[in-house]
Amino acid sequence: MPSLDTHDIGVTPNTAPADENRLRPAVASAFAGAPAYWRSLEHLACDGDVAQQANAAFPMLREAIARHDRRGFLTRLGAGLALAGMAGCRRWPKEEIRPHTARPAGVAPGVAEYYATLFELDGVAHGILAKSYDGRPIKVEGNPEHPMSLGAASALAQANLLDLYDPDRSRHVMSRRSAADAGGDGHRVKQSWDAFTSAVEGRLAEHRERGGEGLAVLLQPSGSPTQRRLVDELKEALPQSQWFAYQPIHHDHAWEGSRAAFGQALRLHYDLKRAKVIVCFDADLLGTHPAHLKLARDWAEGRTTADRGVMNRLISIEPSWSITGSVADERLPLKPSFVEAALERVASRLGLLEAAADPLNEATATRLDALADELIEAGEGAVVAVGPALSPRAHHLAHAINRRLGSAGACATHTAEPLVEDAPDGYVRSLRRLSELLQGNVIRTLIILGGNPVYDAPADAPLDLFSTDDRPLLSIHLSMYDNETSRACAWHVPMAHGLETWSDGRSWDGAYTLGQPLILPLFDGKSPLELLSLIAGRPTGDTRSLVRETFRRRFPAAGAKGWELAIHDGYQAGSEWATISPEVRPVPAFNKPVRSSRAADEEPGFELQFTADAKIHDGRYANNPWLQELPDPLTKLTWDNAALVAKADADRLNVTTGEKIRLAVEDGAKQAIEAPVLVMPGQAIGCISIALGYGRTSAGRIGNRVGVNAYPLRTCERSYTVVRCRAQKIGGRYALATTQMHHLVESVAHFALKKRLGEAGRPGLLIHETSLAEYRRDPRAAHAASHEVHAAPLFDKPADFDEPHKWAMAIDLNACIGCSACVVACQAENNIPVVGKANVAVNREMHWLRLDRYFKGAASNPDIVHVPTACVHCEKAPCEQVCPVAATLHDSEGLNAMVYNRCIGTRYCSNNCPYKARRFNYFDYQASDPREPAKPWLDIPDRQQPEEVSNFKKMAHNPEVTVRMRGVMEKCTYCVQRIVDARIAAKNEFARGARDADVVREGEVQTACQATCPTRAIVFGDLNDPQSAVSRARRNPRSYEMLAELNLGARTTYLAKIRNRET
Amino acid sequence: MSSIRLSQTAERPQRELQAYDPRELTPLVLGGHDFTSITDLVTDLALRKTPRMWYVAMAGALSLLSLLLVTVAYLLTAGVGVWGNNNAVSWGFPIVNFVFWVGIGHAGTLISAILFLLRQRWRTGINRFAEAMTIFAVCCAGIFPGLHVGRIWLAYWLAPYPNELAMWPQARSPLLWDVFAVGTYAAVSLMFWYMGMIPDLATLRDRARGRLAQMVYGILSLGWNGSSRHWVRFERAYLLLAALATPLVLSVHSVVSFDFATAQLPGWHTTIFPPYFVAGAVFGGFAMVLTLSIPAREWFGLRDLITPLHIENMAKVLLGTGLIVAYAYSVEFFTAWYSQQHYEQFVFLNRPLGPYWWAFWTMVCCNVIAPQSLWFPWIRKRVWAIFVVAIFVNIGMWFERFVIVVTSLSQDFLPGSWAMFTPTWVDLGMLAGSFGLFFTLFLLFCRFLPMVAIAEVKTVMPQAQTTRHQIKFDYQPSSDTPRELRRGSWFT
């Protein structure tokens, strides 16, 4: 491992590397043979006569030496020993520091800089802002100027930062020693990039001579115009070469449906700002949709209008909970085949199809008919969305419905679909073609750029990458991790992280988005652009000029200044695609036989649904501890996936949460997997859902053997749903670590929940919620159940804590969708450790901000409420009065401050906190491996962290926030470091005369959770300013304080949730 | 004097048959002892033969103690996460054990101080015992708050001492009150115990044969020579210390209850806690005295000094305090209903019916139902039966603290934060280990110190009454009267 000093690795482009020898002359000369300590130049030069010369020069020195008699010697010896003993009482951690001896121009140490760059997921770029401290990117936020992120960043985009510093990242080019070692895992050797290029150069030159014959490239889909340009150039130069693309979470069905509807693959965009009625058929617009940030923002804008008495209406018909379904005004859980049948029914009601017998029961059918009528009434304000899992026909139907309603062109617009160029007939078919070609002896060289197809390919399209004597296949895999595919390939090349290299991409609406590196590649990773250059026989290494060239060609008018501006902004303004409004072809009549409802209910089999994991997506983030530990937005499950089963089905299978079942598919792949069950209220009956991406074997220390791999059940034809799946209890239990229990089961708890959360027609004590109709009648209807608070103080009036600011937060439950981006933002901002599954299982998760998810109503189809809960900064904080060492105190601005240095860990504060918002370091989580048991130490405590915390982990830490050790309590601070930053800036400006008071103004402080929230559900600011957003939120009639009856004066208040329905 | 049957043995068969005669006092010492034989009986344990059972018991106690040491070492190196505590249940076994042991420590001072002031003469047989138990229970209690903090090496910050940070402890915190309350209690109890032991230590010194024993007992007895002046000052000091210790009996557990009562957690935040805790402590303490004294009197031949009367009296105290505790339990439920406070109501519904129902019902069975058997003389007359009841009460009192701490914390205001608590092997090991510490200290005490207050017991013997009578009416001692004749009773 190379030296881990930050300046060795993280050389910022504008920082001169430190010269080691220049900084340590004594050490340098010591190696040259001279004494390490020296009195004069003569001594240093080892002149033998130094003593004599010294005596001549300093006669009194000789006297002083001669005066040492025995007594004096012993006296000094004793004193010396005593002093040495005193010094030895306290051993400080040993570490080396290397200061900037000359500060580089334009760099202020300790002042954060922000760079606009991009995060690409599934071929769609998201504009992000990376915060960098002294050359280290430490935090990812949304780019506020970017039209598709508007300041928000998803949990994945933020957590992706941690991958940059992942100690498990691949650090070397690896190769198999010989073809004969094929398949052997232990016969791989470390290589250098140069060794790699010289080894493959001959082969590539050969391919170039033959026009690319025998060369195949498998791309991880990317919207990068530069990659597109290089690929197009290569295709032209090497016409015989074959190009493929694959990703497991694909939109093949949408493309196909769009082709059926329009004759070409088009991308569908929703304008939720204008939409009045939004109906989602298994479409997670607010959660996993590639444009979810923008969609969530627009949707939320249609919710906050509740205060004016109007509000959009969201209806979700889905087999398993999605984020969209969890905030829907009405939700209908139906198994996948029924979701399609429901769509057919709506379409026939709208006159697009002939009414046919469908398997839906009467109640459902009535609701669907009402829904169709509602759609007709809303007209062009209505929009129907269909998820990628539904069949191409369903997508075709949705296009037809939107056209019929008039929303096509209004709330639903179309643009070209650029990703389809990589795989014109879809990713799955592309991969299947590659799989077939590999069976034959056609491909001699296969280059896989990114992805992990060996792990996530459909079961019936495996990639046979093993090279044999009669089939010499040269396979090369570029990847950030030495993963399953890398191990199957002859060569593995480490890939650069997105923050290490230049890149470009297109956001969902087509905006040209630029990605700039913030740090040199830590492990000498290469970008896919470099590998494409290598194939073309061009020099590698200069990705910047490749991207620049693309920019120049696309925007010739922009010039150098335009390039600078685009880099600064992170995207090129006005580069979005133009919308097109094609005609929709009629939907063909349904030709499959429809099963009767009775038969469907009695069928012994289940429908199996594969879902993209909300955290680790398709498995690529499996080694990311922040994401592994992030509670799933709906199940609150961490460190695992599970087979989600409805209560009725669980009873039928005779299983409870944690018991294992075997899932076997009856068609296609004859595979079976064993998975633990999680009984999920609101799961569609007859449908078992399981998240993809788990059960990795070569993910790294964090991701290996976490959860169950569901890919073996997936086939090319059944990418998202398996219609016939057998489930069977196999006995045995598996411990699932959830951060919240399912309290619906316990009868006593249910009594409390009904009162606290409310019932039909009666608002709850904690969760204030009402219907739009009620709210229109009485804006305070949601608070009907809460107690009247008598806040008469016993003694003197307590302090107001309002000098010079009065910080407060307001959380709009009507806007919160539970996406969990805020949880990751908080974790990244505040150096919150990951505790590992074993500790989550005993409820020791450290997230300062948790999203309480409450079910309400019947277990078959409950409502969900998401309640972000963190420290509410009570003015009369119960935690403060019980701390025996005064480690938690109030400041003058109302922050309930936590003094980590002073905390001895009695944990009384946590007991006395009614919100249980405090988190305790039961172990030294920063220093321990989340997959291992806590490591005991046998050293003085403060030595532990410097020595034990991984140097890579340290690099990801925010230097403005203390890293807490074991035995210390911690909690939300309202991002006090950001407040202090803003205050310093304000004071400096005031001192310069640039502002009239040395106070922070509205908008200058944003907490981490607030900044990243896609729906702007969180506002933070100063109550002293009556015009601040938080003051306005407090005046909102929906505003309430949770547990107000305790008279604590919480500074975080909530805005009641309004559901757009009758009751 | 003929009415006192000196020949009576431990069982009192004839007495049952006779009609109650108020003139007849129940003897507090049986077995026809005189002053010398009493001294022999007690000092022989310390100075001569060690019963075999002592070695057996000590082996068991030491193995439990080593379990404590192992778990503590593991705790110190790995962190407090080795326990089952979590975000919701931040206090688990350590605080349960702490309150349990502090409670045990109550009986000693109650017996030695309050019963002394109330002239309960029967206390003399068991007071030394109970006081020693108090000290050791407080030792066991004392280790838990210290070990329970997250950064043990900084636990001294709880102490008010001038320092460079100019930081003082935060006086509003009940944990700080605890430090003072338990500290004061431990100091006064130790003083009381030791001071009361001085005359007996002098006896041991005088009878010791080995040089080392003579020196150690000599130092410990502080030059006691039994002079009248010593006795006068001793008795006065003893009385004063008893007066000082009496309020402490009430204060310590009241303050410990503030740890809970001043919090605002439903199930903790209640005004009944101070008296309820004190009664519970006396209840649990007497149960522990019984648990210790019943085997000890068998094994160490003290059946004549700790008589069935003592056991029965203690059983009566157990019954009385048990009734107070049962009343407190029921009043808590009444208050929850009467308050119409929803969170409070949920807690008290959740205790008997929620996930920790087994802990609650164990507590009720052990603390409320089991002591009711003591209404029956048949039970009270049988030492083994009382022993069984005492064991039940010990278990029940531990569960009482478990119920209070864990059920209240695990399901409080916001259902989103609810979490279950499951103890780990370290939790259980430290609980068992604390018994190891307790029994080790207790067995060492039995072996090396006077288990029964020799001098005090003699005052309740008939011989002492007779002599005192004579002194009172017939005999005026002068200043040169030999000390043996001055009081004639306490010294042989």
Residue B50 or A818, more confident = A818
Please report residues of B whose CB lies closer than 8 A to that of A740: 416, 418
Among chain B residues, CA nearest to A970 = B87
Residues B418, A741: C-beta atoms closer than 8 Å: yes
Q: What is the pLDDT of residues A929-960, one digit of tens each?
A: 888 776 666 555 555 555 566 777 788 889 89
User: How far is C-alpha A1013 from the chain's CA centre?
Assistant: 13
Q: In this structure, what CATH number is given to the domain that contains residue B207?
A: 1.20.1630.10
Residue (of A730, A699, A802) closest to A452 by Cα position: A699
What crossing angle do the helices spanning A252-262 and A392-405 adopt, rounded to 10°? 50
**SS3 string of chain B?**
CCCCCCCCCCCCHHHHHCCCCCCCCCCCCCCCCCHHHHHHHHHHHHHCCCCHHHHHHHHHHHHHHHHHHHHHHHHHHHCHHHCCCCCCCCCCHHHHHHHHHHHHHHHHHHHHHHHHHCCCHHHHHCHHHHHHHHHHHHHHHHHHHHHHCCCHHHHHHHCCCCCCCCCCCCCCCHHHHHHHHHHHHHHHHHHHHHHHHHHHHHHHHHHCCCHHHHHHHHHHCCCCCCCHHHHHHHHHHHHHHHHHHHHHHHHHHHHHHHHHHCCCCCCCCCCCHHHHHHHHHHHHHHHHHHHHHHHHHHHCCCCCCCCHHHHHHHHHHHHHHHHHHHHHHHHHHHHHHHHCCHHHHHHHHHHHHCCCHHHHHHHHHHHHHHHHHHHCHHHHCCHHHHHHHHHHHHHHHHHHHHHHHHHHHHCCCCHHHCCCCCCCHHHHHHHHHHHHHHHHHHHHHHHHCCCCCHHHHHHCCHHHHHHHHHHHHHCCCCCCCCHHHHCCCCCC
Asked if A839 lies within 8 A of B90 by C-beta distance, the reply is no
- What is the rounded distance in angstroms from the CA atom of residue A600 to the CA atom of residue A963? 56
CB contact under 8 A, B74 and A936: yes
CA distance linking residue A883 with residue A986, whole number of Å: 34
Q: Which residues have a Cβ under 8 Å from the Cβ of B96 and sit 6 or more positions away? A: B398, B401, B402, B405, B406
- A908–B264 CB contact, under 8 Å: no
Tens digit of pLDDT for each residue in A363-412?
Answer: 888 999 999 999 999 888 899 999 999 989 899 999 999 988 888 888 88
> Is residue B30 situated within a structural domain?
no
Cβ pair A65, A76 in contact under 8 A: no
pLDDT value of position A106 = 67
Q: Choose the closest CB to A938 out of B77, B82, B149.
A: B77
Number of domains present in the structure of chain B: 1
Give residue A563's identity as a one-letter amino acid code: W
Residue A54: pLDDT band (50, 70, 90) is low
Which residues in chain A have Cβ-Cβ distances shorter than 8 Å to B150? 903-907, 920-922, 966-969
Q: Which of the residue ranges A13-17, A893-897, B109-113 would you say has the lowest mean pLDDT?
A: A13-17
Please report the number of interchain residue pairs, chain A to chain B, with beta-carbon separation below 8 angstroms.
193
Percentage above 70 pLDDT, chain A: 85
3-state class (DSSP) for residue A43: helix
A936 vs B414: CB contact, 8 Å cut-off? Answer: no
Q: A598 pLDDT band (50/70/90 cuts)?
A: very low
pLDDT of residue B60: 94
CB contact under 8 A, A968 and B346: no
- Which pLDDT score, from 0 to 100, does residue A60 have? 63
How far away is chain B from the Cα of A903, in angstroms, using its nearest Cα?
A: 8
* Crossing angle between the packed helical segments B35-47 and B174-207, to the nearest 10 degrees: 110
A854/B416 CB distance under 8 A: yes
ipTM: 0.87
The pLDDT of residue B399 is above 80: yes
Distance from CA of A958 to the nearest CA of B (A): 24
A365: enclosing H helix or E strand: helix A362-378
Confidence at residue A94, expressed as pLDDT on a 0 to 100 scale: 55
Nearest CB to A905 within list B88, B149, B262: B149
Q: Give the distance, in angstroms, between the CA of residue A691 and the centroid of all CA atoms in the same chain.
A: 16
When CB atoms are compared, the residue of A903, A912, A966 closest to B263 is A912
- CB count within 10 Å of CB A1026 equals 10
3-state secondary structure of A896: strand
Q: What's the pLDDT at B3?
A: 40
Confirm whether B451 is domain-assigned.
yes
CA–CA min distance A322, chain B (Å): 20
A865: nearest CA in chain B? B416
Residue A1045 makes CB contacts below 8 A (sequence gap 6+) with A786, A787, A789
C-alpha–C-alpha distance, residues B464 and B487, integer Å: 9
Q: Do A749 and B415 touch (CB under 8 A)?
A: yes
Domain assignment of residue B58, yes or no: yes
pLDDT band at residue B470, thresholds of 50, 70 and 90? very low
State the Cα angle at A829 between A888 and A617, rounded to 5°.
130
Flag if A912 and B174 touch (Cβ within 8 Å). no
* Residue A688 three-state SS: strand
Task: Find the mean pLDDT for residues A273-278.
Answer: 90
CB within 8 Å: B157 and A907: no
Predicted confidence band of residue B473 (pLDDT cuts 50, 70, 90):
very low
- Looking up tokens 């895999």 gives A477
pLDDT averaged over every residue in chain B = 84
Mutate which of B156, B258, B408, B413 to test chain A, going by most A C-beta atoms within 10 A? B413
Q: What is the pLDDT of residues A411-469, one digit of tens each?
A: 889 998 888 888 888 999 999 999 988 888 788 889 999 889 999 999 888 887 776 66
Taken in order A864, A869, A874, A877, the sign of the CA dihedral is positive
Q: 3-state class of A995 per DSSP?
A: coil
Q: Which of A736, A743, A741, A708 is nearest to A638 (CA)?
A: A736
CB under 8 Å, gap of 24 or more: what pairs does B119-125 form? B121/B28, B121/B459, B121/B460, B122/B28, B122/B309, B122/B310, B122/B313, B122/B460, B124/B28, B124/B453, B124/B456, B124/B457, B124/B459, B124/B460, B125/B28, B125/B29, B125/B305, B125/B306, B125/B307, B125/B310, B125/B452, B125/B457
Which residues pair with residue A1054 across a beta bridge? A811, A1040
DSSP state of A713: G
Average confidence (pLDDT) over A887-911: 92
Nearest to A904 among B87, B149, B420 (CB): B149
Our CA-based measurement puts residue B445 at a distance from the nearest CA of chain A, in whole angstroms, of: 33
- What is this structure's pTM? 0.86
| Structure tokens given for A952 | 């890579």
Residue B273 belongs to a domain: yes
At residue A741, the pLDDT reads 75
Predicted confidence band at A177 (pLDDT cuts at 50, 70, 90)?
Answer: low
What the block records as the tokens of B217 is 């007992």
Note the helical H segments in A45-110.
Answer: 50-57, 59-66, 70-88
Structural contact between residues B285 and B103, judged by C-beta atoms closer than 8 angstroms:
yes
Å between A885 CA and nearest CA of chain B: 5
Report whether the peptide linkage leading into residue A804 is cis, meaning its omega lies within 30 degrees of zero: yes
Sheet containing A1039-1040, strands listed edge to edge, beginning at the edge strand earlier in sequence:
A1018-1022, A807-812, A1052-1055, A1039-1040
Per the CB < 8 A criterion, the answer to whether A309 and A636 are in contact is no
Contacts of B174 in chain A (CB under 8 A): 882
Query: Does residue B408 lie in a domain region?
Result: yes
Q: Which of B170, B174, B263 sits opposite A885 (nearest CB)?
A: B170
- Check CB contact under 8 Å for B157 and A903: no
Containing domain of residue B319, as a range?
A: 43-159+167-461
With beta carbons under 8 A apart, name residues in chain A contacting B419: 741, 842-843
> How many angstroms from the chain centroid is the CA of residue A344?
35
pLDDT-derived band at B391, boundaries 50, 70, 90: very high
Greater model confidence, B212 or A74:
B212
Looking at the domain assignment, is residue B248 inside a domain? yes
Cβ of B85 and A907 within 8 Å?
Answer: yes
Q: Is A750 helix (H, G, I), strand (E, B) or coil?
A: helix
The two structure tokens encoding residue A524 = 């000498």
Output DSSP code: residue A279.
E
